[in-house]
Structure 1
Amino acid sequence: MTATTDERPDPDARGASVAAAERNKGQGMPGMDMPGGKASKFGPTVRRLASRLRPHRIAVATVLGLGAASVALSVSGPLLLGKATDVIFTGVLADWAGEPGGGIDFAALATVLAWVLGIYLCSALFGVTQGRILNRVVQRVVFRLRSDVENKLHRLPLRYTDGQPHGELLSRVTNDIDNVSTALQQTLSQLLTSLLTVIGVLVMMLTISPTLTLVALISIPLSGLVVAVIGSRAQKLHAKQWEHTGSINAHVAEAYSGHQIVRVFGRQADTAVEFDRRNEELYRAASGAQFLSGLMTPVIMGVSNVSYVVLAVIGGMRITSGTMTLGEVQAFIQYSRQFTQPLNQVASMAAVIQSGAASAERVFEILDVAEEMPDRPTAAAPAVGGRGRVEFERVSFSYDPDKPLIEDLSLVAEPGQTVAIVGPTGAGKTTLVNLIMRFYELNAGRITLDGVDITQLSRADLRSQIGMVLQDAWLFGGTIRDNLSYGRPDATEAEILAAARATSVDHFVRTLPDGYDTVIEEDSNNISAGERQLLTIARAFLAGPNLLILDEATSSVDTRTEAQVRQATAALRSSRTSFVIAHRLSTIRDADLILVMEDGRIVEQGTHDQLIDRHGAYHRLYHSQYTRPASDPA
């Protein structure tokens, strides 16, 4: 694509729909549910995130196997330690009773302890291997999620990105994905181990004493009730926390991008007040979410401690009655602690899990946005030897269905013609060229390029034939040479220099210390606005398109440079159709055709002299710029 700058339509042309979007920054596109109201989607979001593990089935199966082996070995340890206790206790009792050969059987005790040591070492080895594999799986899942979001952004319609505050969108792409990564990394391995531990411990407890097991299980519904009641409320606050994070990022990005305007108009205090308001909202949501999530652990610990006391009392009674040995009761109590420990761990991870789910939901919202209309499977090839004949055939378009903008518009731009489009702000001038680029799809009618309907072409083929330079010059991080060849990476050094000389870029570039190797800084602050615009013109010049679109392309250059650029673009336009949007009417006096637009309609068309002679809309525009208004009487 040879469009070289920010692809945004005229803000005034978008009407009330965009005004509403600006009033609701941070609230997403119309029709999209906000994160703050999505607590009911916790389950579906977690399942959708878990479904991204499917491509890693073998690794996940290996992790499950290693985890099961690690837990199986780990949970067998307390039972063996109970046997060691019985060896010691039996030996001590025999010694007290004065039985022959009484005393502790150290050989048997050493054997049991050696088995315990080996089991725990193997369990640790399996656990470390499981964690390493799972870590790689998690990072691949997050890697793919980032890639999917990045690719999705390139497929989103301009209508969506126009309606989104950039800071809010960036927050979802960066902060929220990072939070998902953190949540998966910190919780997935622990959740898996906890689940397997609960199953393994429960089996061992049932083996020792079904009666005591039933007593221990009483704590589960109580703990589950705590998680259900507190967790649902915490999830709502976590969702609002990340919503407010996006809102504050949008405010900071806006204030930073326009910090010069903020200072010029003395609005630092107002900006700070607005920041404090949004920061306070974030503080309340974050502190409430963390408090509720943190409340789960002490409550569940209290429930488990009560269960522990009850088990100790009943176990002591059963030792006294001779139905259980001391080692069995010791092992069972240790298992009961192991049984409640995973629940406590899950409770302690509740804040991370809920926060990660809220972030995942916001990321999935981007992935669920309807994409721009796909190219036709059998896209037509661009016309061979096409020179850029453009025809609008009864075209209708509107940003808002309730507010028509362009209706039943027809026009023809012949090859080599320079077509100038003028009119008041919001008349639809930029919209017209955006429709040629297929940044938006038509409501009715069609546009043809060299006789081929542009909807029959792939967007890549269409835009490869068009060079576009907008009023808001945009350069990328990199050298000046890289920026010039952005639309044509295979350009030779000689071609780059020729394009730079033709557009008056070469002169100022050679005054820079590093010449064409000068690195453009962030926001391009190391060169002037006029120089930035000259570079974007040279970039389009080098691409050599069949169709050229200039949207106020000379608005940031001085009069002398403008004359040079006009001479250069005249040579470029000689065999190509050119659409020129201009507010300064002096720049389009030599246009082959001037279109005067008002309210999305072409109200006049002709050459400069023809339109002046008609004393119509163009005549009024021209004289409003170049006729001195009469002074008011004193």
Structure 2
Amino acid sequence: MSKQKKLRKADAATIRRVLALIAPYRLSVAATLVLAAVTVISTLYAPVLTGQGVDLIVGPGDVDFAALITLGVQLLVTILITVTAQWVMNLVNNRITFQVVRDIRVKAFEHMQVLPLSYMDAHRPGDAISRITTDVEQFSDGLLMGFTQLFTGVLTILGTLGIMLVIEWRIALIVVLLTPLSIFVARFIAEHTYSMFKVQSETRAEMTSLVEELVGNEHLVRAFGYESRAEERFEKINLDLQRCGIRAVFYSSISNPATRFVNSLVYAAVGVIGAFLAIGGSITVGGLYAFLNYANQYTKPFNDISSVMTELQNALACAQRVFDLIDEDPIRPDAPDAKVLPHGAGKVEFDHVKFRYVPDVPLIEDMCLKAEPGQRIALVGPTGCGKTTLVNLLMRFYEINGGSLRVDGQPIDTVTRDSLRANFGMVLQETWLKAGTIAENIAYGKPDATREEIIAAAKQARAHSFICRMPNGYDTVISEDGGNISQGQKQLLCIARVMLRRPPILILDEATSSIDTRTEILVQSAFEELMKGRTSFIVAHRLSTIKNADCILVMKAGNIIERGTHEELLARGGFYAQLYQSQFARS
């Protein structure tokens, strides 16, 4: 299949999906068609009245003023009907468009919630943002223009053609014979603009991703002197966007002058041939005037439709990118008979677990691990050894490839994800806070928490004192990702968020890495209280934070190579001892 045929096939599939989105609003579409018909009929009736008026004033001193006044009133009423119908039609069209856009945006956002983390890891955040915002907005513009001009244009063409055949079929035949030129021009341009607008959308998404990346990490950009290279990357993408944008706009802008040229040929032909027929008495001067008006109205929609087709090509290219996001395979749904895992004792078992991010790259081949309720398990090892992967498997962010992973005796693939994750509390190295009050951020995982519970959790996390010093205490509004508070304070709020939920299993991934030494001591004492009776997995690079762990697992290349207490592993003199000495021994 040729590339052009594949594009047309994809285009047709996209159109079918857009029509499926419009289907729930078929009554509004029907109303639009009726209003478009009223607009066209009233618009086409106006030249009849003006033509009759011209015939009433052809002869000098032979003007029928009474008939002209009657025609004037009829023309005024016709114009009022046209204006009113167009206004109501535009209101209906806007309503349909924004409802469809709302539906597709909600559908895309909801689908993002069920996409696997592997998709998020493989795509830049700015790409998804561009699809849901910019591409949907472009789709909205094209769809609105389609509703506004396409229906009216088609009806106008059919209506004017019928009237011209009634008035003078010979002139109408000339118009019909020249019409295919406009259709050919519009089709040629439409076929060439779709692929160009698609490239433009993809490049725009790439720019959005880059800007989101650089703006979100501006402090690192400046700290590492990356400004000039950032400008080079931006300039390259911006230049690519300029080039593909110019090509797309160039081709799309050809449509209007090209169709206008063809329309001028039609108008000239009608004028010349009509003049000869008027001289021969086959048509009156008023009839010729009306016919010229109809010829102009007949050809004008071809200009509008060619512009609409160009915008629709852009809209379809953007819609296809949104549909591509919606078509991504979601995470495997919970089994129909999946159980709800209640808050239990917190026993965790890895039984010969296998996992690979990439099928051809081995990682965890035979993981066996048992964590008893209330036990503290520390995970240490070099970067990339699989510590965070274990966390991802525990939370079922990724599915295991083999073996069995059980929580309180239940295989995690037999329970619902929500109930499984409700048994875990996570404090990560990378903090995240939403735009809102401090109280809302602490209650993020428990929105029905009382103010007393929130304050108690903050006190346990040693965050209460700094919160009280904020302008409005717990009602202080912080910006997205906590940009107006320190990194240590953000970490304290994240810790308080977990303390509020008090889950049976804890995951602490470098949870105190962003806190100063004095605060770390306070938080560690809070963790000691929080971890009592709870199974805890502690991922740490600083080995001083895990000395009191019940069991330390030393990982390397996805395997557990050593396990034991801090003292046992030091006495063994193995890999853990080397790691410990590299951090604390000084010659």
What is the CA distance between 1:292 and its match in structure 2?
1.4
Structure 2: state its 5+ residue gaps.
Answer: 1-5
Instruction: Tell me what 2:245 maps to.
Output: 286
Specify which structure has the bigger relative contact order, considering alpha-carbon pairs within 8 angstroms and separated by 6 or more residues. Answer: 1
Is 1:392–1:410's contact at 8 Å kept on the other side of the alignment? yes
Cα separation, 1, equivalents of 2:421 and 2:466: 30
Cα separation, 1, equivalents of 2:10 and 2:252: 18
Instruction: Provide, for residues 433-460 of structure 1, a one-character-per-residue CA deviation record: whole Å limited to 9, x for no partner.
Output: 1111111111112211111111121111
What is the CA distance between 1:471 and its match in structure 2?
0.5
Matched, 1:85 2:54: yes
Which residue of the other structure, out of 307, 321, 325, is the alignment partner of 1:362?
321
Matched, 1:524 2:524: no
- Say which SS state the counterpart of residue 57 (structure 2) adopts: helix
Give matches, 1:109-120, under 5 Å. 109-120=68-79
Instruction: Provide, for residues 329-370 of structure 1, a one-character-per-residue CA deviation record: whole Å limited to 9, x for no partner.
Output: 222221111011011112334543332222212111111111
- Say which SS state the counterpart of residue 553 (structure 2) adopts: strand
Is 2:344–2:408's contact at 8 Å kept on the other side of the alignment? yes
Aligned AA (1:417):
Q
What is the CA distance between 1:546 and its match in structure 2?
1.3
What is the CA distance between 1:172 and its match in structure 2?
1.5
Aligned AA (2:339):
A
What is the CA distance between 1:211 and its match in structure 2?
2.1
Is 1:315–1:329's contact at 8 Å kept on the other side of the alignment? yes
Instruction: Tell me what 2:356 maps to.
Output: 398
Q: CA RMSD in A?
A: 1.9
Give matches, 1:231-380, under 5 Å. 231-380=190-339
Q: How many residue pairs are counted as aligned between the two chains? A: 583
Is 1:70–1:126's contact at 8 Å kept on the other side of the alignment? yes
Which residue of the other structure, out of 520, 527, 534, is the alignment partner of 1:576?
534
What is the CA distance between 1:39 and its match in structure 2?
7.4
Cα separation, 1, equivalents of 2:170 and 2:402: 76
What is the CA distance between 1:388 and its match in structure 2?
0.9
Give matches, 1:383-394, under 5 Å. 383=342, 386-394=344-352
Cα separation, 1, equivalents of 2:64 and 2:198: 61
Which residue of the other structure, out of 81, 89, 98, is the alignment partner of 1:122?
81
Is 1:248–1:279's contact at 8 Å kept on the other side of the alignment? yes
Aligned AA (1:577):
T
Which deviates the most, 583-592 or 615-624?
615-624
What is the CA distance between 1:38 and its match in structure 2?
5.7
Is 2:189–2:310's contact at 8 Å kept on the other side of the alignment? no
Same amino acid, percent of matched pairs: 41
Normalising by structure 2, report the TM-score.
0.95
Instruction: Tell me what 1:567 maps to.
Output: 525
Matched, 1:223 2:182: yes
Which residue of the other structure, out of 544, 549, 556, is the alignment partner of 1:591?
549
Is 1:289–1:351's contact at 8 Å kept on the other side of the alignment? no
- Say which SS state the counterpart of residue 446 (structure 2) adopts: coil
Cα separation, 2, equivalents of 1:308 and 1:502: 83
Aligned AA (1:127):
Q
Cα separation, 2, equivalents of 1:500 and 1:273: 45
Instruction: Provide, for residues 542-571 of structure 1, a one-character-per-residue CA deviation record: whole Å limited to 9, x for no partner.
Output: 111111111110111122222222221122
What is the CA distance between 1:472 and its match in structure 2?
0.2
- Say which SS state the counterpart of residue 239 (structure 2) adopts: helix
Matched, 1:540 2:515: no
Is 2:431–2:481's contact at 8 Å kept on the other side of the alignment? no
Normalising by structure 1, report the TM-score.
0.88
What is the CA distance between 1:170 and its match in structure 2?
1.3
Instruction: Provide, for residues 513-562 of structure 1, a one-character-per-residue CA deviation record: whole Å limited to 9, x for no partner.
Output: 32222221234232211111111111101111111111110111122222
Cα separation, 1, equivalents of 2:199 and 2:144: 23
Instruction: Tell me what 2:3 maps to.
Output: none
Aligned AA (1:66):
L
Instruction: Tell me what 2:21 maps to.
Output: 52
Which deviates the most, 233-242 or 390-399?
233-242
Give matches, 1:173-212, under 5 Å. 173-212=132-171
Instruction: Tell me what 1:464 maps to.
Output: 422
Instruction: Tell me what 1:66 maps to.
Output: 35
What is the CA distance between 1:230 and its match in structure 2?
2.5
Instruction: Provide, for residues 104-161 of structure 1, a one-character-per-residue CA deviation record: whole Å limited to 9, x for no partner.
Output: 3333333333333322322222222122112111111111122112211111111111
Matched, 1:449 2:407: yes
